[in-house]
């Protein structure tokens, strides 16, 4: 029996609005070194590459650098605080559950490939009530590499029991689009996530502005594959 077609989602800024909890945690960490809080609307563009990068970008935003030793200390504190507040303000974007239901009924299966660590990814999706919908949830520490290395996406697809030829990536940032392009896998970008540049300018195969549009975007890509 052939593998079911697979939809691989990014997590932060794609499936879920997590900026409130991530930036609140970042501000707790910055305060340890006397750096004032960054407003959420200003800090959204710092998200998308994992906790270490978020801390580095937070320091850089005020003109400061951080050495590797200090970064690792703060990263552990970041993970501990975030774990305790992982879903204080986070929620699925509108239409996610309905989109999953419709695609599931059409025979699709789902996975997550994120640069969030795997354990908090599973914990967040559990708190949001959708963890059972995914055949694999893979984070920055699941494999030896992480996005934008295409092997992170290939590893997620394999773990979920899918095949690259029938998989599609859904993301919100240059990291997701670059990962999919490197893997030669079609990518649909959401335009409401965490990016400092409009996703339409990054060359995704399709752009959606609401999850109500996802089914048709997926169907369009699959039709293009069949006619190629």
Q: Which fold has domain 19-84?
A: DNA polymerase; domain 1 (1.10.150)
Is 10 designated active site? Answer: yes
Per the DSSP assignment, residues forming a β-bridge with 190 are 208
What pLDDT, on a 0 to 100 scale, did the predictor assign at position 49? 79
> What's the sign of the alpha-carbon dihedral 6, 156, 196, 47?
positive
What pLDDT, on a 0 to 100 scale, did the predictor assign at position 16? 98
What pLDDT, on a 0 to 100 scale, did the predictor assign at position 228? 73
Can you tell me the distance from the alpha carbon of 172 to that of 177, in angstroms, rounded to the nearest whole number? 8
Q: Does domain 6-17+90-227 have CATH number 3.40.50.1000?
A: yes
Among 10, 12, 21, 172, the one annotated catalytic: 10
What pLDDT, on a 0 to 100 scale, did the predictor assign at position 50? 81
Residues of the chain with pLDDT below 70 are 1
The pLDDT tens digits for 175-226 are 999 999 999 999 999 999 998 889 999 999 999 999 999 999 999 999 999 8
Domain boundaries of the chain, sorted by first residue = 6-17+90-227, 19-84
Equal CATH topology for 6-17+90-227 and 19-84: no
Identify the three-state secondary structure at position 10: coil
- The CA-atom distances, in angstroms, between 35 and each of 58, 70, 77 are 9, 15, 16
């Amino acid at each position: 029996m052939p593998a079911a077609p697979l939809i691989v989602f990014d997590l932060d800024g794609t499936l879920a609005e997590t900026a409130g909890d991530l930036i609140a945690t970042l501000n707790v960490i910055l305060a340890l070194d006397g750096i004032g809080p960054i407003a959420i609307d200003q800090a959204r563009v710092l998200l998308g590459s994992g906790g270490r990068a978020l801390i580095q970008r937070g320091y850089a935003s005020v003109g400061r650098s951080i050495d590797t030793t200090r970064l690792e200390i703060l990263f552990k504190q970041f993970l501990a605080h975030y774990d305790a507040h992982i879903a204080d303000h986070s929620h699925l974007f509108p239409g996610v559950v309905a989109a999953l239901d419709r695609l599931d009924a059409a025979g699709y299966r789902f996975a997550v490939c994120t640069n969030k660590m795997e354990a908090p990814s599973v914990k967040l999706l559990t708190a949001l009530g959708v963890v059972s919908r995914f055949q694999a949830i893979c984070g920055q520490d699941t494999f030896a590499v992480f996005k934008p290395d295409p092997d992170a996406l290939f590893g997620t697809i394999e773990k979920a029991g899918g095949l690259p030829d029938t998989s599609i990536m859904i993301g919100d940032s240059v990291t997701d689009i670059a990962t999919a392009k490197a893997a030669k896998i079609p990518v649909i970008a959401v335009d409401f996530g965490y990016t400092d540049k409009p996703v339409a300018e990054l060359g995704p195969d399709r752009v959606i502005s609401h999850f109500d549009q996802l089914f048709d975007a997926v169907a369009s890509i699959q039709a293009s594959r069949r006619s190629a």
